[in-house]
A and B are shown apart, each in its own frame.
Chain A
Amino acid sequence: MPTAPEPALSVRQVLGLERVLAGEPEVVAGASHLDRPVRWVHVAEAPDVGVMLSGGEMVLTTGVLLAGDVEAQAEYIRSLHRAEAAAVVLGLGRAFPAPPDVMRRAAERCGLPMVVLHRPFPFAELTEEVQSRLVRRKFAAVSLSEAVRTALTGLITAGAPLQRLLDEVASHSACPVVVTNLAHRVLATAGERSAVDDVLRDWERIARQAGGSEGDGWVRAELGGRGERWGRIVLCGYRGDAATGRLLADRAAEALVLHRMLGGSAHSWEEQSAQSLLTDLVSGVVPARQLLPRARAAGLPVNRRTFVPLAVRDGDPAHLDRVLRMLGLPGLVAELADGATAVLLSLARDQDAEALTTHFATRLRTESGGGGKGVVAAADPRILWDDVPAGLREAQHVADAVAETPAGLDVPVVVRLRDVHLRGLIRLLRDDPHVQSFAERELDGLLCGGGAADQDLLPVLRTYLATGRNKSRTAQLHHVSRPALYRRLEAIEARLGVDLDDFEQAASVHIALLAHDAQQG
């Protein structure tokens, strides 16, 4: 853990220096305040030294001007206390052969650490040693700050994603790092996986608490700019010293604000967070159970819920998210790699999952201005979180299958596995070599046709079969007269060498065509 030490030494640390130990220091008062920071070391014999101090100094004196004047000794201590000196060190010798009782008692009352040196040595050696250490510490803090800032700025200018920035911060902090939005939703995390999971497991309790408290190494920095707050970054259980933790959190917050401002869209972090979670769920690389803390921290209710996995082709995730909010449906939305947008709804157990899915899909269609865009493919609701990945894959599969439905045909507002019938099965089998060669064999006559007139035979065949061999509907959908359609169907039959009025032959061609389309998709 590369840390910059506190820019100040404590009284205790100064007393522990080898040079000081040689002077046989003894703490005679204020022993419970030895952790005070020493900002500077000051040698002063003046009785009114208090007026020259600005707080945090360790004052070294032989007390030569105080000897014999009891009142002056007590006032000397009081003036140091008023000036918020860190400690007073008295070198025993000619002026005070033994610790003066008046000063000791006054120091004890004020809570000012008082140290006597039984073997005094030149004070200059001590000031030099302590001062150089203080300067080195300040330099180390500035240097760490610069190193972190340079690294983060480099990542931002290279266009690195949020996660990369956080990984960098976590490499310095050696503890989990969490970014949340104003709704306490966890947008991103970094750090060792198991430590992050431990933090997220308890996130509900921590985040839902209005207010929140510092301490226990939880270092928070607000994220915001232009008078607006967006969220915060939290170092969870930072084990280094407080000043370094603060420095890291502040540098990280600056970088994140810059990243967000340069990155544009206000929703991008939320989207990225949902995307990484849903992608991990669908891929199955990480067991679902292990993703539960992340899902909960991302704001998805997970206790005693029904999960409805959905997939929407050509859906804009931001739009889908707006519709979910409008309807008050809790869920996560993210575009997956293949162009389908996954939506995972979380409903209360007593809610009617089917009715609410239809409600969502209907509103989505209205809000999109009607049309076939944004068909919602749904898997069966899942009660168990472990079943969610399979559900998401099922919804994706249904969405893919329905995407191959010829344009113009009615598609229900919510499409399920049972609605895609044979199309669904063929899609699952599309990579099978037997199915591929079957499709090629069956359709060879059309696929190898070269002329421009042949170009629209395949679409006509597709519509004709999809409409259940309905000639008038097919003619209508292709904007051709019925006689023109008959001529095309005759051409198709001739090319393929089949009789489309024969059910089995037509079914065979239909299956081949579905397989052909699935392979293209």
Chain B
Amino acid sequence: MSKVVRAAVFQTAWTGDKESMIQVHEQAARDAAAQGAQVLCFQELFYGPYFCQVQDKAFYEYAEQIPEGPIVRRFQALAKELGIVLVLPMYEEEQPGVLYNTAAVIDADGSYLGKYRKTHIPQVEGFWEKFYFRPGNSGWPVFDTAVGRIGVYICYDRHFPEGWRALGLAGAEIVFNPSATSRGLSGYLWQLEQPAAAVANEYFVGAINRVGVEELGSNDFYGTSYFVDPEAQFVGEVASDKETELVVRDLDLAKLREVRDRWQFYRDRAPGAYEPLTAP
């Protein structure tokens, strides 16, 4: 039996200041709700520039407590008003000096469901993330939202199949992958890895990447956000590689069962043989 979820992701360019960036995202939530979207995920570190292009402690200021901080509160009220599930990728301060790259998940009634902290933290040219974030310690939470079971896997995480699998085992039906990734670096991977994860784990993936070149560096963020189904088919078009775009797509979750009845990956996996994978 079909169960259609109207899901959305939003990609945009850095506006130049935090408040206007938040307002752009509030408007996007309203635009998504106007179309009847039931869930919306923003891009990684959504209200800031991608400051990891430089190593500057001034950007620690972008971090705030989750869920006690003002941004989560503000979007909880909006989620409640619009009746939409929101996934908010943010910079989290647990306590001074303990900072994470985190996504907060808000249910359609505005209640805070929990957070995922990015597990794999890169430290390569233009992506100096170890300067800003501790590796996540949240495990692989899957959130039981008004529209279904939702997981989050942030940016660089996507190169590691293990987390995708853990989210699948925990029952995720849609996994969002908010990212900030640049043209020269990952262009050849972007339409390969997440579709592969969707196929391997038999769920939907929503991939989001910001757009534009920001003042902090030369990273050319190439957007092209999309939804992909458990058969690696893009749901509708892939978004622009340059423009701000709201991607609203109808995902028929019945496809999960259909594909899983066809391919029994979860039955046939052999965890007993995987010990070497978890050896330190």
A-side residues, CB < 8 A to B, are 182-185, 208-211, 227-229, 266, 299, 301, 322, 325-330, 348, 350-351, 355-356, 359, 363
CA distance A210 to B197 in the complex (A): 12
Chain B residues whose C-beta falls within 8 Å of the C-beta of A351 in the assembled complex: 35-36
- B145 on the A face (CB < 8 A): no
Residue of A nearest to B36 (CB): A351
**Complex contact A350–B36 (CB within 8 A):** yes
8 contacts between A and B (CB under 8 A): A210-B234, A301-B236, A326-B245, A327-B35, A328-B35, A328-B247, A329-B35, A330-B237
**Complex contact B184–A227 (CB within 8 A):** yes
**Complex contact A325–B237 (CB within 8 A):** no
**Complex contact B184–A183 (CB within 8 A):** no
Q: How far is the CB of A137 from chain B (nearest CB, A)?
A: 35
- Which 6 residue pairs are nearest across A and B when measured between Cβ atoms? A328-B246, A210-B195, A325-B245, A328-B248, A183-B238, A208-B233
Contact A325:B35 (CB < 8 A) given known A208-B234, A209-B232, A211-B192: no
Chain B residues whose C-beta falls within 8 Å of the C-beta of A301 in the assembled complex: 236
Residue of B nearest to A327 (CB): B31
Contact A210:B191 (CB < 8 A) given known A182-B238, A301-B236: yes
CA distance A354 to B210 in the complex (A): 31
CA distance A351 to B6 in the complex (A): 11
Chain B residues whose C-beta falls within 8 Å of the C-beta of A329 in the assembled complex: 35
CA distance A182 to B183 in the complex (A): 13
Chain B residues whose C-beta falls within 8 Å of the C-beta of A228 in the assembled complex: 183
Chain A residues whose C-beta falls within 8 Å of the C-beta of B28 in the assembled complex: 326
Residue of A nearest to B233 (CB): A208
CA distance A208 to B245 in the complex (A): 19
**Complex contact B239–A325 (CB within 8 A):** yes
Contact A185:B237 (CB < 8 A) given known A209-B232, A328-B35: yes
Q: Per-residue 0/1 for B220-253: is the Cβ within 8 Å of any A Cβ (1 yes, 0 no)? A: 0000100010001110111111111111101000
Chain B residues whose C-beta falls within 8 Å of the C-beta of A363 in the assembled complex: 31
**Complex contact B31–A325 (CB within 8 A):** no
Most buried by A among B36, B192, B228: B36
Residue of A nearest to B241 (CB): A182
CA distance A227 to B247 in the complex (A): 26
- B84 on the A face (CB < 8 A): no
- B121 on the A face (CB < 8 A): no
Q: How far is the CB of B170 from chain A (nearest CB, A)?
A: 25
Most buried by A among B10, B228, B238, B239: B238
Residue of A nearest to B183 (CB): A228
Contact A326:B238 (CB < 8 A) given known A229-B187, A350-B36: no
CA distance A325 to B10 in the complex (A): 10
**Complex contact B8–A326 (CB within 8 A):** no
Q: How far is the CB of B56 from chain A (nearest CB, A)?
A: 28
CA distance A185 to B238 in the complex (A): 9
Chain A residues whose C-beta falls within 8 Å of the C-beta of B234 in the assembled complex: 184, 208, 210
Chain A residues whose C-beta falls within 8 Å of the C-beta of B34 in the assembled complex: 327, 355-356, 359
Q: How far is the CB of A201 from chain B (nearest CB, A)?
A: 17
**Complex contact A348–B8 (CB within 8 A):** no
| A356 CB contact (under 8 Å) in B35, B183, B246 | B35
- B32 on the A face (CB < 8 A): yes
Contact A184:B237 (CB < 8 A) given known A210-B228, A351-B35, A356-B35: yes
Chain B residues whose C-beta falls within 8 Å of the C-beta of A359 in the assembled complex: 31, 34
CA distance A330 to B184 in the complex (A): 29
CA distance A351 to B37 in the complex (A): 10
**Complex contact A328–B31 (CB within 8 A):** yes
CA distance A356 to B30 in the complex (A): 12
CA distance A210 to B233 in the complex (A): 6
Q: How far is the CB of B242 from chain A (nearest CB, A)?
A: 7
With A185-B237, A328-B10 given, name 11 new contacts (CB 8 A).
Answer: A183-B238, A209-B232, A209-B233, A227-B183, A229-B187, A326-B243, A326-B245, A328-B35, A328-B245, A328-B246, A328-B248
**Complex contact A348–B36 (CB within 8 A):** yes
Chain B residues whose C-beta falls within 8 Å of the C-beta of A330 in the assembled complex: 236-237
Chain B residues whose C-beta falls within 8 Å of the C-beta of A322 in the assembled complex: 243-244
Q: How far is the CB of A139 from chain B (nearest CB, A)?
A: 37
Q: How far is the CB of B80 from chain A (nearest CB, A)?
A: 21
Tell me which residues from 1 to 18 in chain B have a Cβ below 8 Å from any Cβ of chain A: 6, 8, 10
Chain A residues whose C-beta falls within 8 Å of the C-beta of B191 in the assembled complex: 210-211
Q: Per-residue 0/1 for B192-205: is the Cβ within 8 Å of any A Cβ (1 yes, 0 no)? A: 10010000000000
CA distance A209 to B235 in the complex (A): 10
CA distance A299 to B250 in the complex (A): 15
Chain A residues whose C-beta falls within 8 Å of the C-beta of B243 in the assembled complex: 322, 325-326
**Complex contact A182–B228 (CB within 8 A):** no
Chain B residues whose C-beta falls within 8 Å of the C-beta of A328 in the assembled complex: 8, 10, 31-32, 35, 37, 245-248
Q: How far is the CB of A266 from chain B (nearest CB, A)?
A: 7
CA distance A183 to B241 in the complex (A): 9
CA distance A208 to B249 in the complex (A): 14
CA distance A350 to B34 in the complex (A): 12
**Complex contact B232–A210 (CB within 8 A):** yes
Chain A residues whose C-beta falls within 8 Å of the C-beta of B239 in the assembled complex: 183, 325
CA distance A348 to B232 in the complex (A): 23
CA distance A162 to B250 in the complex (A): 34
CA distance A65 to B109 in the complex (A): 91
Contact A325:B195 (CB < 8 A) given known A184-B238, A351-B35: no
Chain B residues whose C-beta falls within 8 Å of the C-beta of A229 in the assembled complex: 187
Q: How far is the CB of A425 from chain B (nearest CB, A)?
A: 34
Q: How far is the CB of A162 from chain B (nearest CB, A)?
A: 20
Q: How far is the CB of B226 from chain A (nearest CB, A)?
A: 9
CA distance A351 to B250 in the complex (A): 12
Chain A residues whose C-beta falls within 8 Å of the C-beta of B232 in the assembled complex: 209-211
Residue of A nearest to B247 (CB): A328
CA distance A299 to B234 in the complex (A): 12
CA distance A166 to B243 in the complex (A): 28
Residue of B nearest to A207 (CB): B234
Chain B residues whose C-beta falls within 8 Å of the C-beta of A299 in the assembled complex: 237
Most buried by B among A183, A227, A299: A183
Q: How far is the CB of B178 from chain A (nearest CB, A)?
A: 17
Most buried by A among B224, B233, B247: B233
Q: How far is the CB of B236 from chain A (nearest CB, A)?
A: 6
